[in-house]
Structures are given as C-alpha cells and as structure tokens.
Amino acid sequence: MKQEDRDGFAAQAALRAKLKRMVVENSRLDTIERYTRELVEETKALIAEDVLLDDGDAAPGQTFTYTELSVMPIIGPSGSTKTTSMLRVAEKLKKDYPGTTPVLIVKCRSNTRTMKNLQALVLEAFGDPQAKEVLQKQFADRYEQDIVTRAIRKVARAAGTYVVVLDESHTPLGKINKREWAATIAANFKSLVNDGLFAIIVMGTSDAELFFEMDSELNNRKIEGVSLEPVDLRRADHYHYFYRFVGRIDRQMVRDGIVDEPIGLIDDVRSRALVYDMSQGISGLVSRILMGALRISQRDKRRIITWEDIKLSFWAWKREQVDENGVPIEVYDPFVDQVRPTTLEAIRDMSKPTNA
C-alpha cells in the first residue's frame, strides 16, 4: 500500500473518531448534569460528617456507623446516550474539582455478580497506586470483604470521589434468571451505599429497574433519577429535544470539518419522519447510523453524506439486530415500507405555529 493511501485511511479514521467523540448539547444532557451535580454536593456534605471516622483506628471489636448514601437510576435503551452524556458530565466535574475525581465511571461486566468482583471492578476503575496495591494484596491472597471495604473508602476519600456510576449495570443479569440475579446483585449495590463509601448511579436499560424491584431496602435508598425513554413525538418537549439534537449533529459535522455540507436531516417533514422511524426515537441510534453512513461515503472518497449512505447504514445495522437465540428481530424499515403515516401526522401537528 502506498504511503498516500495510508495517510488517507488515517485521515478518514480521525474524522470518524471526531464524530464518535462528538457531544451535542441537549436538554437531557442538561438534566443528567444537574441531577449528578446535586448528588455530588449532597454526598459531599454527608461524607464531611464521616471523615473523622476511620475503621483502621477502631479498637478491637469496635465498629463505626457511616452515613447511608443515595442511589440514583438513569434508565434508557441502548443508544440513548447514557454513557456519552455521563462521560461529559464526569469530565466537567473533574475540571470543577481540580486534582480529584468527583464522579467515577465503572463499567459492569457479565461476571460482576459477587461483592468481590464488584469491589475489584471499582478498584480497577480508580487505577491509582493505592488501589492497585489493594488489588494485589487483598485479592491475590485471602479476600475479606470488610478489609477491602475499608481500603476502598480510603482510596475514594483520597481521590475526592463522591459518586460511582455503575454503567451497563444490567449486563451481569444475563439472559436467564434475571430476577434471581437482580436480588443478589442489588444486595451488593446496597452494601456500597450502606457502608457510606459513595453514592451510586445505577445506569442501564430497563432491566436495571429489577434491582429496585427485588430489593426493598435498595429501593428505599433511591432518589429521583433520569428516564431516557424513546421519544414520543406527540409530546412537545420530546419533539423539540429530538429534532434540536438531530439538527445540531447535522450542523456540527460541518463545523468540525467531518463533512463539507449538511445532510438536511430536519429540513422537511419527510426527512424528519425518516430520521424518527429509522432510529425508533432513540437519539444515540441516529449517531450510530450516521457513523456507518460516514464510513460508506469515505470509501467512495466523498466529503458529503447522502440519504443513500444513510439507507445502506441503516440496513447494515438492521441485519445486526438478533435476539439471544440469534433469530432476527423485526425492525420497521421506512426506506422499504415508507415512513409511518402516524409519524408524518405527529410531525405536521407539532410543526404548526401553535406548537412551535
């Protein structure tokens, strides 16, 4: 391969990376930031009363009681920008609290079903020398939950961490016996807040709601969270959020030099309907389909994305949709079946001056 071709591939990849990292300001992001900031400040105030307590200084047989902290759910389908939004919020808070990590994001795995694995995951996320030392000493030899809990508390206090986000929290539930696993895992989540380590944000799909259903005590710790449900076009707030989000992506791709011209995703009623029907009202899915469309246009050495590119990208995504048994999931295809009449009707109603 010629150097010129290698340089071209690198330049195209850089543009795709720019699109993947793109964060578009929107009302749901604002809500996540506001609620997270509230939780950070509340937890900071509560923990301030506990800082003089240190299990390491306890007399034999003596224990300290720490303030029980809160749990906040952020629930939404895959592609609803949960992770992207939280990464942005965590980054902003880190800048506001220099030298600390107020919000730590931990990505749950399929094996995050035991307290030991959950504690190890949290320590791995901290990644500092103190956390690594605990991992090496306490997990390589004899594991004792209470000792690791005290160690995590020290690591969290040193890092200035008040909230831990358990991202993809639904993952360890698996595909079968979800309710049973939810009861087991919820008890582990509850221990984190009961021991006063930090507040937690349980972030995941609707399956994550099982944690609160299966553990009344965890549910009692729950505060108002954020629902990132698919957009309902008949709700004015949903309608304006969705199309402002889509329109900003279209314009920002040009501003960031990813493409030379806007696609026109919200220029007319039919375009808006196509975007809604292909994404099922899930904003993150719009970004995913646009990423595929960008790749298709780049292979043709074009600096614009066409509706044909979007159609082909949607079809590629559609082929990937299968259930746990590998059976294709039926997905409505507005490029084959035309946009839904109900979608067109809702958009026209919302486009009237009285609803503007």
User: What CATH number should be reported for the domain holding residue 165?
Assistant: 3.40.50.300
Q: Is residue 97 part of a domain?
A: yes
123 Rama sector, left if φ>0, alpha if ψ -120 to 50, beta otherwise: alpha
* 165/28 same-domain check: yes
If one counts the domains in the chain, the total is: 2
* 136/111 same-domain check: yes
Highest mean pLDDT among 57-71, 129-143, 165-179: 165-179
Q: Is residue 266 part of a domain?
A: yes
* 72/181 same-domain check: yes
Tally of CB atoms within 10 A around 267: 12
* 269/345 same-domain check: yes
Residue 26 has φ and ψ, to the nearest 5°, of: -160, 165
Listed residues 196, 227, 258: the one ending a domain? 227
Q: Is residue 18 part of a domain?
A: no
Cα–Cα dist 266/273, whole Å: 9
* 179/31 same-domain check: yes
- Residue recorded with tokens 């043709």: 300
Cα–Cα dist 95/106, whole Å: 19
* 124/262 same-domain check: no
115-126 and 145-159 are packed helices; what angle lies between their axes, rounded to 10 degrees?
A: 30
Listed residues 175, 205, 227: the one ending a domain? 227
Write the pLDDT tens digit of every residue in 311-331: 999 999 999 998 878 889 999
How many helices (H) does the chain have, and how many strands (E)? Answer: 15, 5
With H, G, I as helix, E, B as strand and everything else as coil, classify residue 166.
strand
With H, G, I as helix, E, B as strand and everything else as coil, classify residue 275.
helix
**pLDDT above 90: residue 203:** yes
Cα–Cα dist 352/333, whole Å: 27
Confidence of residue 61 (pLDDT cuts 50, 70, 90): very low
Q: What's the DSSP call for residue 105?
A: E
Per-residue pLDDT, averaged over 184-198, amounts to: 94
Q: Is residue 10 part of a domain?
A: no
Listed residues 173, 204, 227: the one ending a domain? 227
Count Cα atoms within 13 angstroms, Cβ side, for 308.
5
CB of 321 closer than 8 Å to CB of 329: yes
Cα–Cα dist 269/344, whole Å: 7
Q: What is the pTM of this model?
A: 0.85
Instruction: Measure Cα distances from 250 to 233, 258, 264, 317 in Å.
Output: 20, 10, 7, 20
* 144/241 same-domain check: no
**Among 344, 73, 32, residue whose Cα is nearest residue 221:** 73
Tokens of 308: 């044909």
* 128/219 same-domain check: yes
* 148/173 same-domain check: yes
Write the pLDDT tens digit of every residue in 67-121: 889 999 999 998 888 999 999 999 999 999 999 999 999 999 999 999 989 998 9
DSSP assignments along 256-272, one per residue: TTS-SS---TTSSHHHH
The pLDDT mean for the chain works out to: 90
Tokens of 33: 């930031």
DSSP assignments along 315-334, one per residue: HHHHHT-B-TTSPBPP---H
Confidence of residue 270 (pLDDT cuts 50, 70, 90): very high
Question: For position 10, what pLDDT does the model report?
Answer: 93
* 185/39 same-domain check: yes
Per-residue pLDDT, averaged over 187-197, amounts to: 93
* 236/218 same-domain check: no
Cα–Cα dist 329/320, whole Å: 9
Q: Is residue 132 part of a domain?
A: yes
Burial label, 283 (beta-carbon count in 10 A; 0-12, 13-18, 19+): buried
* 149/174 same-domain check: yes
Q: Is residue 11 part of a domain?
A: no
Q: Is residue 13 part of a domain?
A: no
What range defines the domain where residue 206 resides? 23-227
